[in-house]
Structure 1
Amino acid sequence: MKLIIRLIVIGALTYFVSPYTTWWAAMVIAFGVCYASPSSGLNAFVAGFLGVGLVWMGHAWNIDVQNSSTFSNTVAEIMQVGDPILLVFATGLIGGLAGGFASLTGTTFRQLFVKQKNRSLYS
């Protein structure tokens, strides 16, 4: 349940903040959300990957639709990619990886300051 909440918060903040800031603001958001809420590393990575990646892919698709795919066709020809829609998926993948690693960094940075419990042999 925390994964879904974390994913929605990262995605919503990224969606509303990214048009007004630089591209790396999404990484700061993913870092901050996962720093503020404790989680495991995999949970944080998946939340950041899906939260940022889906928003970036949605923005790329929206831009592609608004200009009737002329820009993506031109870039696909330059990069020698067969289908221009692959650029939309590549944008989502790059954003997802950046967001996933930022949220993983936020979780591990939090663990630097949290004192670990002493585990006994029987617990």
Structure 2
Amino acid sequence: MKIAVKLFLIVFLAFWAEQVFPWWSVAVCAALVSALIPTTGKKAFWSGFAGIGLLWLFFALFYSIQTDFVLTQRVANLFGVGSSVVIILLTALIGAVVGGLGALTGNQLRQSLRTAPPRPRHYSSAQDEAGN
């Protein structure tokens, strides 16, 4: 359940951020959501990966369909790929990696700023006699 909420928030915030800010703002959105909602590192990475990857896949398909795949076909020819589907998938993959790394960064930031509770000191009787 926490992963679904995290995924939704990443997609929602990234969608609105991309309307105003540069392309890399999706990494900041993924990092903020991952810093606020604690999960493991793997889950954080995959939620950012899936969220931004799906968002960029949707937009790549949306704009390609609107333009009859003219621009994606030209970019595919420019890179020597020959298929606009490959360009769309590469776009989604690049966004997914950026989102995943952004989410992992936010998760690691949260863990580094977390203050650990003091560890209880347990001594055995042998340690007490030795003066430790």
Q: Which residue of 2 aligns with 1:96?
A: 96
Residue in 1 aligned with 2:60?
60
Give the TM-score taking structure 2 as reference length. Answer: 0.85
Question: CA offsets, 1:4-46, max 9 Å, x none?
Answer: 1100110111122212221011111001000111110001001
How many residues get paired? 121
Amino acid at match of 2:50: L
Runs of 4+ in 1 over 3 A off after TM superposition: 116-120
Q: Which residue of 2 aligns with 1:19?
A: 19
Alpha-carbon separation, structure 1, partners of 2:114 and 2:106: 13
- 2:53 match: secondary structure: helix
Q: Deviations over 1:69-106 (max 9, x none)?
A: 11111111111113211111111100000010010010
**Residue 111 in structure 1 maps to residue 124 in structure 2:** no
Question: Please, which runs of 5 or more residues in structure 1 have no aligned partner?
Answer: none
Q: Go from structure 1 to structure 2 and tell me whether the alpha carbon gap of 1:50 and 1:119 turns closer, same or farther (over 3 Å shift).
A: farther
- DSSP 3-state at the match of 1:100: helix
Q: SS of 1:23's equivalent?
A: coil
User: SS where residue 30 of structure 1 aligns?
Assistant: helix
TM-score w.r.t. the length of structure 1 is 0.91
- The aligned residue for residue 10 of structure 2 is 10
Q: Over aligned residue pairs, what C-alpha RMSD do you find?
A: 1.7
For structure 2, the 5+ residue unaligned runs are 122-132
